[in-house]
Every structure is written in C-alpha cells, then in structure tokens.
Amino acid sequence: MKRSQFIKSSCTACAMLALPGITAMVLESCASLPSAKVKPDLATKQCKVPIDKFGKSNMLLLRINTYNFDFLVIKNTETEYKTLELRCSHEDQPLTMSNKNIFCTSHGSIFDFEGNALKEPAIRPLKKYKTKLSNNFLIINLT
C-alpha cells in the first residue's frame, strides 16, 4: 500500500471512530437555553440584566456588546447568581455548553458549572464575575 493510501484510509478510520462522540456532544449542546444581549455601562463597567430573561431556566447565555466571548449566568437560588466567561483558560477559545458541563471543542478541555477545570489541557478555572440581584435586575461587575 502506498503511503498516501495508508494515510487516507487511516484518517477515514479515525474519523469514523470519532464521529459518534462528536455528534453526541453537538446534539447535547443544542439544548434550549434562553439568551440575552446587553450593552455594558462603560463608566461603571457593569451590565444590567432583567431576571425575567431566565424564563423557567436556571441558566442564561449572555452576549455583552464589545466583549468577544459569551457569558453564562447561573441561578443557584432565588437570590444567588454567578457569571462565568465562556472563554477557555487554556488558549482563549470559545466554549460550548451541554446539559452536563462546559467544554472546549478546540482542545477538549471540560469545565463544571462552578467554572472548575475537569479535564486538561486547561488547568485553571474559568473567569468568574461578581453578580448581584437588585430590584429584579442582575448587576454583573465586568472588572
């Protein structure tokens, strides 16, 4: 067998083995998640999000104008919320969510919903932002 034929058949075999796992991750990440777009207050470096944007979910995908990465806002209790930046701590790649965790499709890192790295190559946790509830709005401190 020629080298080029060997490489082609090997790559095809690897792709066929990996395809079910990749497909499962993509389908798992398609779960319906409410989202909101907001503009930050540049003077205070905060953004304000109405809590009704959560709907019946305990998570909200947040897109903040002027930021390159999305944010995940998680409702822990009726009064306690946390915000994670969906940027991989390994090499600044965007992250994808599933029902079970947050993962990097570029290099395979996995994070829990506390932002902790569960699988390398990332070893540092995700960046967290102070989030507080005030008059039916979440105030997210972006510093």
Average pLDDT, the chain: 84
Range 33-40 average pLDDT: 93
How confident is the model at residue 99, as a pLDDT?
A: 86
49-105 confidence digits (pLDDT tens): 999 999 999 999 999 988 999 999 999 999 999 999 999 999 999 999 888 999 999
pTM > 0.85: no
Query: Domain 34-141 is in which class?
Result: mainly beta
How confident is the model at residue 33, as a pLDDT?
A: 87
pLDDT band at 29 (very low <50, low <70, confident <90, very high): very low
Range 3-29 average pLDDT: 46
Residue with more model confidence, 5 or 65:
65
Are the C-beta atoms of 74 and 58 separated by less than 8 Å?
A: yes
Domain ranges for the chain, please list them: 1-30, 34-141
How confident is the model at residue 25, as a pLDDT?
A: 44
